[in-house]
């Protein structure tokens, strides 16, 4: 970690404001490391849903690629906007939103390198997913690969915001850590295979500095919670995809590994339609 103190990991309450401030700071400080560690796996303009490596080209969760042409698509928690660049390559008009300035600087850097235009045909917006700076119905679709939702205290607020800026019938597809993973230590090896905590304990995971200030926060929801959140926000859930670990993927990503991937799901992808 790119900071002087060694944060203490704990489970405790974290408010919406504290979570948002922690995320902004953490991703600004760690964007360089995240992109240098995972950038090659993500690819500059692939749309990867999670560490299993399932990509949108194969999965088609936003619908057939031909149907993306001309669509206005919002990506939340876009990081360096790899997914949005893939959407742009299909002829869509993507907007990549993230609360981390440093992540978006990586989007500019990669966009520049890929085709000479800033951000590779993707509009970049620095904002919190809990307060989207767009008019009602501005987008045809929305997506998020592990962006924003796992890090916010009030996911229904984010989902309602996404619902608001989508036209009726518009799809929102988002991936998060599979909720079952919360019951296991976040370790790629055999120690990550034994249940160590209650799946039903929603107390957030918090890393805090010496003064007790949160510097990293993740929030846990069970599968049932996520389904209820999606419905409460005005979506219909049409699929819940649990990508299986493919033989050809030998790469570890934090606690995601082939060993664990063969045995327990690591990613949950919610496919939702705005009612």
Q: Which residues form the interface with ligand SAM (CB under 6 A)?
A: 20, 23, 27, 42, 76-79, 98-100, 103, 128-130, 145-148, 151-152
In angstroms, the CA 6 to CA 117 distance is 39
Q: How far is the CB of 259 from ligand SAM (least distance, A)?
A: 22
CB-wise, 58 or 236, nearer to ligand SAM?
58
In angstroms, the CA 87 to CA 93 distance is 7
Long-range contacts of 212-215 (CB under 8 A, 24+ apart): 213/22, 214/14, 214/18, 214/19, 214/21, 214/22, 215/3, 215/7, 215/22, 215/25, 215/26
Contacts of 91 (CB under 8 A, 6+ apart): 68, 69, 70
CB-wise, 56 or 70, nearer to ligand SAM?
56
CB-wise, 36 or 194, nearer to ligand SAM?
36
Contact 165, 135 (CB under 8 A): yes
CB-wise, 20 or 257, nearer to ligand SAM?
20
Q: How far is the CB of 21 from ligand SAM (least distance, A)?
A: 10
Q: How far is the CB of 153 from ligand SAM (least distance, A)?
A: 10
Q: How far is the CB of 74 from ligand SAM (least distance, A)?
A: 11
Using CB atoms within 10 A of its CB, is residue 75 exposed (0-12), middle (13-18) or buried (19+)?
Answer: buried
Q: How far is the CB of 190 from ligand SAM (least distance, A)?
A: 25
Q: How far is the CB of 39 from ligand SAM (least distance, A)?
A: 9
CB-wise, 20 or 66, nearer to ligand SAM?
20
CB-wise, 141 or 148, nearer to ligand SAM?
148
CB-wise, 190 or 220, nearer to ligand SAM?
220
Q: How far is the CB of 12 from ligand SAM (least distance, A)?
A: 18
- Which ranges of the chain does DSSP label H, i.e. alpha helix? 16-42, 56-59, 82-89, 101-115, 155-165, 223-232, 258-261
In angstroms, the CA 135 to CA 209 distance is 38
């Amino acid at each position: 970690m790119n900071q002087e103190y060694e944060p203490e990991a704990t489970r405790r309450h974290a408010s919406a404001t504290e979570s948002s401030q922690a995320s902004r700071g953490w991703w600004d400080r760690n964007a360089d490391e995240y992109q240098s560690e995972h950038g090659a796996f993500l690819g500059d303009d692939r749309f990867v849903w999670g560490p299993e490596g399932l990509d949108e080209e194969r999965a088609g969760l936003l619908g057939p690629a031909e149907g993306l042409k001309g669509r206005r698509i919002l990506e939340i928690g876009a990081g360096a906007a790899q997914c949005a660049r893939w959407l742009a390559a299909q002829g869509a008009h993507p907007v990549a939103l993230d609360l981390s300035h440093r992540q978006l600087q990586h989007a500019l850097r990669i966009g520049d390198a890929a085709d000479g235009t800033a951000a590779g045909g993707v509009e970049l917006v620095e904002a919190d997913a809990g307060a989207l700076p767009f008019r009602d119905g501005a987008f045809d679709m929305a997506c998020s690969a592990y962006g924003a939702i796992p890090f916010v205290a009030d996911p229904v607020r984010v989902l309602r915001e996404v619902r608001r800026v989508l036209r009726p019938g518009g799809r929102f597809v988002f991936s998060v850590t599979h909720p079952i993973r919360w019951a296991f230590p976040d370790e790629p090896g055999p120690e990550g295979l034994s249940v160590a905590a209650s799946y039903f304990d929603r107390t957030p995971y918090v890393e805090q500095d010496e003064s007790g200030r949160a510097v990293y926060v993740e929030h846990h929801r069970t599968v049932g919670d996520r389904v209820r959140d999606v419905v409460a926000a005005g979506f219909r859930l049409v699929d819940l995809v649990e990508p299986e670990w493919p033989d050809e993927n030998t790469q570890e990503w934090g606690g995601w590994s082939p060993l664990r991937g063969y045995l327990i799901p690591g990613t949950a992808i919610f496919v939702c339609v705005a009612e």
